[in-house]
Every structure is written in structure tokens, then in C-alpha cells.
Amino acid sequence: MSTVGTIGMKLVTGARFLVLSTLVIQCLACLSQTATGSKQKPLTEFGPNVLVFSPSLKMSDIQQQIDKVYAVQEHSEFGKDRFALVFLPGEYHVDIPIGFYTEVIGLGATPDAVRIVGNVHSDASLPNNNATCTFWRAVEGFSVTPTGGTMQWAVSQAAPFRRMHVKGDIVLHQKGGWASGGWMSDSVVDGNVGAGPQQQWISRNSEWGSWTGANWNMVFVGVPKPPDGEWPQPPYTKVAKTPVVREKPFLQVDAKGSWSVRVPELRRESQGITWHGGSTPGRDIPLSSFYIAQAGRDSAAKINEELAKGKNLLLEPGIYDLDEPIRVTRADTVVMGLGFATLRPVHGTAALTVADVDGVDVAGVLIDAGEKISPVLMEVGREGSRTSHARNPIGLHDVFFRDGGAAVGRAKVNLQIDANDTVIDHTWIWRADHGSGVGWTSNLSNNGLTVNGNNVTAYGLFVEHHQQFQVLWKGEHGRTYFYQSEIPYDPPDQPSYTSAHGVNGWASYKVADGVASHEAWGLGIYSVFRQRNVNLTRAIEVPVQPEVRFHHMITVALDDKGEISNVINDKGGPTHLAPHRVDPRVAEFPQ
């Protein structure tokens, strides 16, 4: 039974919804005709987990489909269903609540081509307006005119907000409850962004009327109008220009009904959004140049066969059990997932490898470790490479990783970057602290991110709970703009959590001893130890070199057990929650 059919069975006892679902699926091929008059029928290749809506459909029918998806996804933190809700250009009067593993996409060349008049909202998934577990959901490519004037986007990690236009205000929390996000890029908010109690946030190349609120670590990169105030009160870290980035590729439909993927052009020293001129500059790849994969139908061997023929890859929503890695070997290949398409290796291999070639873009994929331990889940380039990709970097956009939570998951390294000049454009690399298959000897993971390549740049680096270094950076001239990390909750005792003689634990962010040049801005590292006798000597560990520079660091104890003894090397002093709260801050290193 299709996933949409399954939802129908879960939600209603009769056949009414199944009939409506079938009509929507059968109508996918004609929706672009309805909107544009085109005779093209590219949508027949999409399966039932991609719901495509046209403004010519009844708004009540669209609303019913949205509500059926949300009823299943609202609390499905570790569920198997994934969805993309896709809107053709036009205006819609609907309310769109966004649950787990749900991506909402506008198909215009500019966000203003798809206009949602009503609510689009992410709500707290825990009681008491607590959004600290509101993960794995996304919006991109449309405008919102929110009911009441304010859009609610209460999120934490892995909840990208891209190419959006909010015609009003937005709040990043629910009624003052905690949230632990998040990411905003290439977006415009006409009114105010209210951060409220958001613990941390990165905004890259975005614009707004005003910004209010701060907590521990707020980073603004390439933002023309950052809020007033200087770190540490309020904790604003401001970088005037984004040194190098290519925005995430996106689906679009033109006036003739032709489908394509726009690959934005590379920008250097940029400020603000890409679409002031109406559309984002870049190149278009027709949808016919993509192999459209479906979970449960396509094996890794079949996908690799299509990639070897020169196809790009579009992964429909679902979970792909892989008995070998997906291998990307051709320069300028685009691999794009819809609706948090999830890659899961089942034989202890990598899920995805990218060759040491120019211009590959991987976007919108969740990589879930399997029960058999993988030496690495995703490898980019080849170790020891001297090839420069400076003119056309490899880009990773909204690529997320998970060890455990849905089931036992094990890996030694989640993401290994060997290719020089790679740009990481938002990632969350998470060893699960709750869910299924979770425990110090169950969901194993040494490192979240290992960087061997030179000139690697990371924006929005979220890495949590791994059992050794969360980040191990060996390459030269690395740069990180925003870092968020909780160290592992569950070391059972200090001997199990000791990196060297006399050193408690493993630093969250480790720059290897031989590195001469590295720089990072806006770092927040937090402890939630479950055992009282477990401590961490330092949150950040770096060689003392004039070109190894860190800006704006904070450590916070989120419970009353253990401590982080220093922020960076031997600087900063210990965190405390009891008997009174102390959140050490270090402005600059070296001082």
C-alpha cells in the first residue's frame, strides 16, 4: 500500500480519504497543465509521498490533504513516513502546520511566486511550549502573509528556513517556551524577528525590518541589518560578509510548465538575499536530467547505474536501505532529497561518497546509521588530496546525520571531508540522546565531523553527543561560522570518558596540534552529564598559533552534574548550575 493510502487507513475508517488521495495522485500529471496550459507531464514520475498542489484546486481539498499528513507527522519524531508538500505558483488560502519529516516547497523562481495567505507554522512538540525536540522539518521558496500578522517558527535543530518571504513578523519560539534552533538563509522578513528564548541561531544572507531577543549564541553572517548591540550582552556575533557560498539548489516550474532544478551561482563576499532581481542567478538543469528515485523500489546499485550514465539524482521522501554506498563520481552532479529522504546503510558501509571532483551539490538528505558499524557514513573527496576546488567548491546543504533514535545506529565517523574548499551549508550531526537503541554501548559514534581537507568552510555547524571529539579539524585554513554542541550525556564514569592522561573527556571542538591556521566565530558548548563524577577538562582544544583564532565562545551547564572546566584550552573557567549559575564566556583567543 502506498504511504498516502496508509495515512488514509490510519486516519479514517471509510474510503473517502483514499478516494481523494487517489484523485490527487492521478492528478499530479495534470497539475502543471491546469496552472499553465502546458501539455508537459513530468509529474507522473513522482510517487505518493510528494503531494503537488495547484491554486486551481479547491482550497478545502488542499487543506484536507495537509491536515491528514500533519495528523500522522505531528508527533512522529522517529517514524518512518516522509513527505514533501509542493505548491505550484499561485495564491493559496490555507493553514499549514508542519510536522516531523515534512518539507514544504514553493516552485517559483522567486518566493513571491507562491503566496500562502494564512498560517504556516511549526509548533512545539513537547509540553509547556517546549520546542527543544522540534526537529526535521523545512520550508523553502514561498511567501507567507500570516494570519494575525505573525508567523510562528518554533524549532530546534535540522529545521531549515530558506528562500522565504514573511509579509509580517516571525517568532522563533512558541509562547516563550524553550527552543534550540536554528537556521535562516536567503530570506526576508518584512517586520520583526522575535528570537525570544531561542538558545542559539544562525542567520546567513537574510534581511528583516528588525530583530529582537537573544540568549546564548546568535550569529549573523552576510546580514545587511544585524541587530544593535555587541557580544557578550547581547550575545550577537556579526560577520559583515559571507566569504563564499552557493545557495541550496531548488525545484522550480516556469511559465510554460517546464520543471527544472536551479543551481545558484557561487557568491563571494556577499550580503543579503539572492533574489532581489526577481530570481536567483544560476544555471537550470531540466528535470529530465535527473533520475527520480523512490524508496523501496530503487537499490543503491540502480541509483549508481543511473549516476554513471550522467544523471543527477532526486530522492523522493522515504527511507532507502542501502547495501552499498551511493557513489557520486561526476563533476557538477546534483543530489537532492525531498521530504528528508533518508539513507541508511545496512552492511556497515558508507551511505554516500563524493569523488574529489568540482561542483557537486548534495542537499536535503538525512543519513541514518545502521546497526552494523560504518567506518564513515559520508565521505567527500579522497584523503590526502591536493586538488583545489576553489573555483567550483563542493557544497553540502541541509545534510543531516543520526546515530540511533529510530533504532540502533553505529558509526566511527559520520561526515569526513577530504576534498579541499568544501562548503558545509548547515548540518546537524547527532548521536541520539533519546529514542530507541540509545546508550553508551549501543549507539556508538566516535566523531561527528572530521575535516582533512584544506580551506573548508562551515556555516551552521551543529554536532552533538558523540563519544570522542565532536569535531576533529586537521586541515589548514578552516573556517566555522556558528557552532552548537552538547557533549554526550551518558558517559558512565570518568575512565570511560578520558582522552589523554590527566585530560577529562574529549573536547567538543578539536583543532589538531599541527594545524597553523584556523578561525571560528560564535561557539556555544553545553553539558548535560547524567553522572556526578564525570567532567570535561575543556570545551575547545586548539594549538597556540597566531593564525588559530576563535571569537565569542560560551559554555553552559544544563544540569547540576559534572562540569566543563574551561572554555578553550586553559581559559574561561568552569561552568556551574549549582549552587549558583555561571556561564563562562571568552571573547577572543588568543587574547
Q: Is the per-residue pLDDT at 548 higher than 90?
A: yes
* Alpha-carbon span 63 to 372, nearest angstrom: 42
- Domain containing residue 40: 3-240
425 with 298, same domain: the answer is yes
CATH, residue 516: 2.160.20.10
Q: Is the per-residue pLDDT at 37 higher than 90?
A: no
Q: Is the per-residue pLDDT at 469 higher than 50?
A: yes
438: Cβ contacts below 8 Å, ≥ 6 apart: 404, 405, 432
49 with 111, same domain: the answer is yes
User: Does residue 269 form part of some domain?
Assistant: no
User: Does residue 213 form part of some domain?
Assistant: yes
* Alpha-carbon span 261 to 314, nearest angstrom: 10
User: Does residue 374 form part of some domain?
Assistant: yes
- What are the φ/ψ torsions at residue 63 (nearest 5 degrees)? -60, -40
Given 464, 486, 541, 563, the catalytic residue: 486
| pLDDT tens digits along 88-138 | 999 999 999 999 999 999 999 999 999 999 999 999 999 999 999 999 999
Among 480, 513, 528, the domain boundary falls at 528
209 with 314, same domain: the answer is no
User: Does residue 507 form part of some domain?
Assistant: yes
Q: Is the per-residue pLDDT at 31 higher than 60?
A: no
- What are the φ/ψ torsions at residue 418 (nearest 5 degrees)? -105, -25
215 with 328, same domain: the answer is no
424 with 514, same domain: the answer is yes
213 with 79, same domain: the answer is yes
Confidence band, pLDDT 50/70/90 cuts, at residue 387: very high
DSSP 373-426: PEEEEEEES-TT-----TTS--EEEEEEEEESBSS---EEEEEEE-STT-EEEE
pLDDT at 45: 67
Q: Region 79-89: what's the mean pLDDT?
A: 98
Among 496, 528, 560, the domain boundary falls at 528
Q: Is the per-residue pLDDT at 52 higher than 60?
A: yes
* Alpha-carbon span 251 to 186, nearest angstrom: 15
* Alpha-carbon span 547 to 542, nearest angstrom: 11
Comparison of pLDDT for 474 and 576, the residue scoring more:
474
Q: Which residue has the cell 557533549?
A: 487
User: 301-314 as b/e, with b when 16 or more CB fall inside 10 Å?
Assistant: eebbebbeeebbbb
165: Cβ contacts below 8 Å, ≥ 6 apart: 111, 112, 142, 143, 144, 187, 188, 190
Q: Region 470-490: what's the mean pLDDT?
A: 98
pTM of the model: 0.94
301 with 228, same domain: the answer is no
481 with 343, same domain: the answer is yes
Comparison of pLDDT for 21 and 173, the residue scoring more:
173
Confidence band, pLDDT 50/70/90 cuts, at residue 581: confident
Active site residue 541: no
218 with 353, same domain: the answer is no
Q: Is the per-residue pLDDT at 363 higher than 90?
A: yes
398 with 522, same domain: the answer is yes
pLDDT at 518: 99
| pLDDT tens digits along 201-232 | 999 999 999 999 999 999 999 999 999 999 99
Q: Which residue has the cell 502573509?
A: 145
Q: Is the per-residue pLDDT at 197 higher than 60?
A: yes
CA distance to 36, 113, 120, 368, 380, per residue, from 97 (Å): 28, 21, 6, 25, 35
User: What does the angle CA 148 – CA 154 – CA 155 come to, to the nearest 5 degrees?
Assistant: 150
The percent of residues in the chain predicted with pLDDT above 70, rounded, is 92
User: Does residue 354 form part of some domain?
Assistant: yes
pLDDT at 23: 36
User: Does residue 235 form part of some domain?
Assistant: yes
Among 506, 528, 550, the domain boundary falls at 528
C-alpha cell at 3: 504511504
Please report the sign of the dihedral spanned by the C-alpha atoms of residue 332, residue 482, residue 411, residue 402: negative
User: Does residue 72 form part of some domain?
Assistant: yes
pLDDT at 7: 38
pLDDT at 490: 97
Q: Region 355-363: what's the mean pLDDT?
A: 98
Q: Region 327-356: what's the mean pLDDT?
A: 98
Contact 571, 589 (CB under 8 A): yes
Q: What distance separates the 2 farthest-apart alpha carbons in the chain?
A: 72
Total structural domains in the chain?
2
234 with 325, same domain: the answer is no
User: Does residue 18 form part of some domain?
Assistant: yes
Tell me, what amino acid is at 548?
A: V
DSSP 64-109: HHHHHHHHHHTT-TT-S--EEEEE-SEEE---EE--TTEEEEE-SS
| pLDDT tens digits along 306-325 | 999 999 999 999 999 999 99
233 with 311, same domain: the answer is no
pLDDT at 402: 98
3-state secondary structure (DSSP) of residue 305: helix
